[in-house]
Structure 1
Amino acid sequence: MANRIDFGDDSGDWPKDGECDDPDFVGPGAVSDPYDDNRLGDASDCRAAFLAGTVTLRSLDTETATGFDYGDDSSRWANDGQCDDMRFAGPGMAKKLDRDDMGADASDCRMLEESGEVSIRPVFQPDYVLGAPYDGSDVDFGDDSSSYANDDQCDDPRFEGPGVAYTLLESDRMADASDCRAAFEAGTITLRDGES
């Protein structure tokens, strides 16, 4: 992944001081108050911190500190004290979840996340794709016998994440190998808990 990032050069004000001064990075290895003039100007420090896992690329979404888009409150179950968005997990979740409620119960899910009752499933966290490519060699993806194979969406119901199709059918289990392998390796899907 580090080879895909343009870290720039060491022309900034504080290169090679052990801290990443580029404002495009966040984390414990980055300065807490960077300024724009150091963008692409601290390559050695930022690359080292990125490889050490102490910084990540700042999310393009600046509306929330996590870069996660909670959505809105358009679900009919919004504001009922339970999180109805299947991108989350935890004891504060509603018992029955509907894909239509993804991104549609923002207030409940945000409140419950802040209180520790739910957490964002890792594959839906903005930084998850930064770990790509993921090794899928131990996953049996099956074959491409689904009529929805090779449409650039994973149709296998064993997976979850932003790279899965909206409608998942049991008949597509292990039948969309190429799409699911590509999405898994790219970090846009992962196996659901209990699946193999």
Structure 2
Amino acid sequence: MQDLERFVAGFRSFQKDYFGPENSQFERLKQGQSPKTMIIGCSDSRVDPAILTNCAPGDIFTVRNVANLVPPYEEDGGRHGVSAALEFAVCYLEVEHIIVLGHSQCGGINALMAGNCGCKGDGFISSWMSIAAPAREKVLAELPGKDTKLQQRAAEQAAILVSLENLRSFPWINQRVIDGTLSLHGWYFELNAGELSEYRQCSGLFQKID
């Protein structure tokens, strides 16, 4: 109950800050949204994209899931939540940037590397994390026998690249990238150091954003 009471108090503070008699921050947003950036982040409670980027309501269109993954483009009639969000952000909101935001100490990637995804065997988590299987295979091939923490960090970053590649499998995303109206970015947040890195295609490395 303490958490719920704190959340209600937090909402009242939000309401006062954004909907007070002398505050018009939500006046424009009442008419609709027009964010220029979409962030695909992890469900991890420590890594909230809006807090990390110090954004206000309306600044970013956000999707969060286990391990910040993007599935490949599929037309199998399934219920594709991430794909639906991508379609809305790109085709209707016409965002100009998509950021895949990964982070250190990711539980999903840890389970993937340990080969222990989910409490139900071949359940939802296992199926979902199979999207990042190429990242695991790449790390185990390139860093065999290395420290597990090193392997996990490498897998967390490799999974971001898998998601970036999967984004290009959506025809309406790939075409916009070719046209220059949409840019794709891979970011990695290091929890211990409080540092943010960006994938640089020219070097093939994640480099700290100063």
Q: Same fold (TM over 0.5)?
A: no
Is the radius of gyration larger for structure 1 or structure 2?
Answer: 1
Compare the two structures and name the one with the higher helix fraction. Answer: 2
Say which structure is richer in strand. Answer: 2
TM-score, normalization: structure 1? 0.23
Q: How high is the TM-score relative to the length of structure 2?
A: 0.22
